[in-house]
A and B are shown apart, each in its own frame.
Chain A
């Protein structure tokens, strides 16, 4: 140990002034954040707040597992699934329609206009769309469906446009040269080449939308989220905790199914 010089040690530790400066500024930024919010993380660990938290958590147990309530949760979960499925399906259809101009099939002006529209749809978060759609369509799952459809159209439209742009042109050209009309050229020459990719993208977004649909209810857009919000406002903690468990179970099941499907695809060489 003593035969190693200080300089060698420094080198071995990878000492550099910029790393330390970076770490120091990071510490300052984190400290400033806590200070700006006037939060003291240490206060969380006092005996008083521990006791308070314990009481708060205890109110959620035992969860309400009565058959009657489980049935209502099942209905809520089904509503969540329906919202996500219909929302994604509308988005896939609208996304494909918008992807046609966005991939430059109708000229440069149409391309930049639709790209702007898709970017706008995509950058407004689902929950904000849901709050707006509750105003436009009233409380309930329909508002949630519309919100998911709007946001997902932006995401899928862009992805679809990229797949269309990258699809090989030879089959379409062959059809054009043999005199097929433009619609049929697209349907038989381009669409079959990109369909697997479009379906993969849509399924992936559906998976994300199931998760999102569970929380859209917080602004009144139906599904499990609306149930949770309602039970918590009535201080029905036992019911709320069963809804939360249902949400968790839904997420875990969706994760497992998607991992299983993906493994199957890899094994099939897809």
Chain B
């Protein structure tokens, strides 16, 4: 006698997932991947700003202006900005899912988080790539001292 073949007792009542991108899964993977990259980016950022050279006393308008003139630091900062804001935004989304029970509250809070993330990413990216410490045609008394050297 061989083992009897028995039909599956029932099909799942929850419809098996539609095809397409599984956001929940990619969100979960993103949190881990971006977390690892952010550790490198943030500690690299802190080490360069606070430890190297004159350390914290070197930080002034000129220091930041100088960094943002260098494409390396521009991309470093933009990567940090995008990864951290999406990481934080996604984390807030899961918190809202955990704590807000009414669909209305959920919707409002998640829209607010999304808006904040989008605005900050757009503004931040704009500033990093277009920042000019010495805008031309401005009165000299409004400009930092380093512009006089130009």
Is chain B a partner of chain A in the same complex?
no
Which residues in B have some Cβ–Cβ distance to A below 8 Å?
Answer: none
